[in-house]
Structure formats: structure tokens, C-alpha cells
Structure 1
Amino acid sequence: MISFSLNKIFAAAAVALSLLAAPAAAVADDNPSAVLDQIRSSGVLKIPVMTGEEPGYIKDPATGQWSGFYVEFLSEIATELGVKIQPVETTWGNLAADFQSNKIDIAIGVNPNPKRGLVVDYLWEALFTDAWAVLTPVGKPVKTWAELNDPSKTVVVQKGSTMQVVAQALLPKANITPVEDRGLALMELQSNRADGVVLSVFDALQITEKNIGEVSLPEPLLRNPATLAVARKPGNAGYINFLTNWVLQQRSLGQAQGKLMQSWEARGIDMSILPEGFSF
């Protein structure tokens, strides 16, 4: 009887301890500043950088240093957090995997994507808005997406990117050719193996300075929200709140628009193709 009673007492004590421990664990998991605390304690903000994605990402071949308007934005965020940036070379298509493997802490200029949204949290407020365009061979512009929706047409996109989603949705009859990065896509166009490359209009416009192709902004006009994203994990609520406030300040004070316009003007990008009243 005594043994039985002791067993019951020990069992009850174990249950009580588990009940006490459970709220403590829940509090730790629900700490909204957990991700912010981790980034600050590490001293670095791990950011994605990409070759061939000028003027957003520009790599100095002599020093290996990165610049460009995306790097400037991310550097400002790092400064607000009191840390330094740590560039991680990657591609648009690898961002979800990079988040899952903890290689990066943030992504910028990304478009909401349901599949990627399974593991990534997007900010609802876009940093800026552009539109989807097509880079075609010189002298062969297109007025509508329908002109490319033909089995005889080959359209190149970056693998795993929103450009691929756009092409597959609007051009189901065309031959869609996914490639790893923008440089390979442009090679396909220059080699006369493509009738078009899907790009954001601001990217397409800056490519024209290299005399590669002609920019078309096909109808219907598809606006393209460029936002920020973070990994979906416990404790990122405070991080998302911080970034949302940063984006709202950038937009409401004209800082984002001013930085982008200066970057494009510095590279001689002609914005006249944009529809009248187009707001980015």
C-alpha cells in the first residue's frame, strides 16, 4: 500500500512539473523578439546577393564587394538593427531553400508566391511596384501577351522565379525554357534561340543600355509588387513588425522611390516606356 501511494505521489508530481514546464516553453516559443534577438546577438544580417542582377546587386570584380540599390536597402536595415550585412550568393529560385537552411535572414524585391509562402512570410506592404515586361529581339516588339502564346514561340525565364509563374500562366502554348540566371537568359536571346525573355520592366529597361533586345510592356499590364520576406519560424512577429514599419517609412517619405529613381537615372535607364501615371 505504501509503495502504491508513493508511486501515485511521484506520478502526480511528474504531472505537476510538466504542467509548470509547458507554459515556460510556450512563453519561450512565443517570444515575438526571438528572431530579432538572434540576429542582434550574431552581429550580422545574412542577405542574399546575386550576380547578373544589376542595378539591384552589383559585384565589384576587383574587390568582391557588393553594392546596388537592394544592397543599400538591406544595409540600412542592418544599421537600424546595429549589425553588419553578410552577403550570401544565391539565385531567386533558391531563396526558399536558403531560408529553410538558415543561410539568409531576409529577402528583398521578392514577389508573393504561394508555394514559397509555405515556408516564407511575406510583408503585406510592398517596398515598390513595377510591372512584368518582355525583352524581345530588336525590331520585334509585342503589344500583347497573346502574341507570344504560340507553339512556335520560345520564351525564356529564370528557373523557380515569379517570371516562370507568369509565363506558364499567360503563355501555356509557348515553349517555356527555364534557365538558372539572367545572364543565361540573355545568352538565349542573343543566340536567336528565344523570342522573348520575361523580366520585371525595371530590369528589362536597364538591360537595353547593353543593346540587348527591345523592351515591350504587353497588355494586359501586370503590376508586380516587390516586397520583403523572412523565414517562417517561431518568434519572427517582432521582426516582421520592425520591417513593416521600415517599409512604410521608406514609402511614405519618398525614400524608396527616390533611391530607385537615382539608381536608374545613374545608369541612363529610359523610363518613358512606363504608362502615364504609373506609380512605383
Structure 2
Amino acid sequence: MISRRSLAGLIGAGTLAAAGLGSLAAPALAEDAPESTFERIRRTKKLRTGAVAGGAPYYHKDLASGQWRGFYVDMAKALAAEMEAELELTETTWGNSVLDLQANKIDLFFGLNPTPKRALVVDFSVPVFNNAFTIVARKDFKARSWAELNSPEVKIAVDVGSSHDQVVSRLCPKAQVVRFKAADEATIALQTGRVDAQCLILMLALTVLKKNPALGQLVVPSPVFSTTSNAGFRRERDKTLRDFVNTWIDYNKGLGFIRQTIVSNMELVGVTEADMPAGLSL
């Protein structure tokens, strides 16, 4: 039989042993803690972001040289420089960008419209600029409102998984929504008469029509549905990268760098502020 004194001694020894193990285990747990994205960028001096080949003036890839241009490319370069890191661009699509964030292929992606569905899986920065959803339609197309677009007789092209897809699916459930892998394919469908219209953010719609005025007409459906263009981040406990980018965006808005970068890259694709429809601005 174990006496009370012996039992007390065993318990005391066990307590001391547990305390000793705890003191040894704590550093191990700290070492095993996952490295945050911000910490990895600072350690490796590499900032990874995505870019969309057919997304001028946001993103544009020169097929001959492989060089990237666009205002989000310029912003990403400036952000990387601020973080004392080298920018690494990975080609993606508007629809796949969220998946690339989740898969840890990229650290952030400029050009996401925040939606409740996306907010379930990724974090967003403060807005970079405001934008509106528009329609590029054949020249004889008469619809001028979302209600008129919401008809079984109307065929609307979108790039699958994009904000264009989500908005049309929400506002025009009765329409025939034709989904394509990329926005360029949806534009070709409009050009060849397979659809009546294509939904695009204003910035992209102006670019498409500037390249091919014969494609159709720009329609800003009423009521105007505006959204914002933001940066997206992989969901993680450490929000340091998001907070840093928020500070960077607000600071560079105040300096005028954001607006200057957008306007200068719009001119690269032949679009100016004078091309903006009345009542709409960045």
C-alpha cells in the first residue's frame, strides 16, 4: 500500500516533471508555428503576385518579349520595392486568382472585387479604386437596364468565376448566361454573334471597345452597380501583410501615385479619362 506521504511525493515529482517538460515543449511549439506570408516575404525577399494576360490596362503581357505592363503591375512593383523584395509574377485568370491564393501559389492579387462569397475564403485590402459593371453589346441592342437584361431572350457572355459572372448570375437569373474560360473568349463570342452582350468592368469595357470600335456599344445599365477593385490575400491568422498593404494603398492614394499609375496605363491602351461615361469616375 502506498502511504499518503509516498503518494504526495509521487504527485509532487509528477508535477515537477510536467513543469520541466512544459518548459522544454514551449520553445518547440514556437518553432513549429507556421511562418506567416509577411514573414516569408521578409525572409526570402520575394513577393509573389498573379497577373492576367488579357487584362489590359490592369495587366498586359507582351507575347514577343514576355514582359508585363499594366497599372497593377506597376503598383505591385512599387509595393515590392517598399518591402525590399523582388516581384515574382505568375500568370493566372480572374476566375483562378482566388484558388491560386488558397493554394499558396501567390501572396496577393490586385484586381479582385470583394463579394460575400469570396470573403468566405480570402481577405481583402481597402479599395484601390472604384469601378462600375457595364455591358458591351451589339450595336442594335436596346436594353438599358438590368431588368431588361434579365430576359430569357438575352444571351450574356462572362468569364467563368469572375465578378462579371457573379453579378450577371445575381442580377439576371432569367437570362442565358454563357460562360467562357477567359474574358477574351467571351469577347470573341460577342464579335461572332453567338451572344448579345458581354459583361465587363468599365475599365475593361473601355479597353475592348477602344481596340475594336466595331464590336458594339457601351451600356451602363441602370441602376448603376458600382464596386471596388481591391487586393486579395490568403486567409491566415497573421494579418500583417494585409495591414501593411492597406497602409501602402492609403499612403499612395494621398500622394496621387495610385491615380497617376491608373491614368498613365489607361493611355497605353488608348483610353483616357475623357472616354469615361458621364457621371462615372475612378
Fold in common (TM above 0.5): yes
1:11-30 matches, cutoff 5 A: 11-13=14-16, 15-17=18-20, 20=23, 21=25, 25=29
Residue 5 (structure 1) shift: 6.4
- Provide the residue aligned with 1:243 in structure 2: 245
**Does 2:226 match 1:223?**
yes
Equivalent residues in 2 for 1:152-191, closer than 5 Å: 152-191=153-192
Within the candidate set 262, 273, 277, 1:274 is matched to: 277
Greater shift, 4-13 or 193-202, is seen at: 4-13
Aligned equivalents of 1:148, 1:195: Cα separation in 2: 10
Q: Note if contact 1:36-1:239 (Cα within 8 Å) is conserved in structure 2.
A: yes
Q: Which runs of 5+ in 1 are unaligned?
A: none
Give ranges in structure 2 of 5+ residues lacking alignment.
none
**Alpha-carbon distance in 2 for matches of 1:187, 1:17:** 69
Tell me which stretches of 4 or more aligned residues in structure 1 moved more than 3 Å.
1-11, 17-31, 270-273
Q: Which amino acid aligns with 1:233?
A: E
Q: RMSD over aligned Cα, in angstroms?
A: 2.5
CA distance in 1, matches of 2:50, 2:227: 20
- Aligned-residue offset at 1:23: 9.0
Q: Give per-residue Cα distances to partners, 1:167-199, cap 9 Å, x unaligned.
A: 011111101112111111011101211111110
Query: Does structure 1 residue 234 correspond to structure 2 residue 229?
Result: no
Q: CA offsets, 1:13-39, max 9 Å, x none? A: 4543565545984798599xx432211
Larger radius of gyration: 2
Note if 1:75 corresponds to 2:77: yes
Judge conservation of contact 1:29–1:234 (CA < 8 Å) in 2.
no
**2:50 alignment counterpart:** 48
3-state DSSP of counterpart to 2:152: coil
Distance 1:13 1:232, change over 3 A: farther
- 8 A Cα contact 1:141 1:216, kept in partner: no
Give the residue type in structure 1 aligned to 2:80.
Answer: A
Q: How many Å apart are 1:254 and its aligned residue?
A: 2.0
2:225 aligned partner, one-letter code: L
Structure 2 residue aligned with 1:101 = 103
Distance 1:203 1:19, change over 3 A: same
Q: Could you tell me how far 1:165 is from its partner in structure 2?
A: 1.2
Deviates more, 1:191-200 or 1:88-97: 88-97
* d(CA) in 2 for partners of 1:7, 1:116: 55
SS for the counterpart of 2:116 is coil
With over 3 angstroms needed to count, the CA separation of the structure-2 counterparts of 1:139 and 1:273, relative to structure 1, is: farther
CA contact (8 A) 1:141 1:215 kept: no
- Give the match for residue 116 of structure 1: 118
Q: Output the amino acid matched with 1:52.
A: G
Note closer, same or farther for the CA distance 1:108–1:191 as it changes in structure 2 (3 Å cut).
same
Name the CA shift for 1:18/1:257 in 2 (closer, same or farther; >3 Å): farther
State the distance in 2 between where 1:38 and 1:66 align.
24
Contact 2:159–2:186 (CA under 8 A) maintained in structure 1: yes
Secondary structure of the equivalent of 1:45?
A: strand
Counterpart contact for 1:30–1:234, Cα < 8 Å: no
TM-score (structure 1 length as normaliser): 0.89
Q: Distance in 2 between matches of 1:262 and 1:141?
A: 33
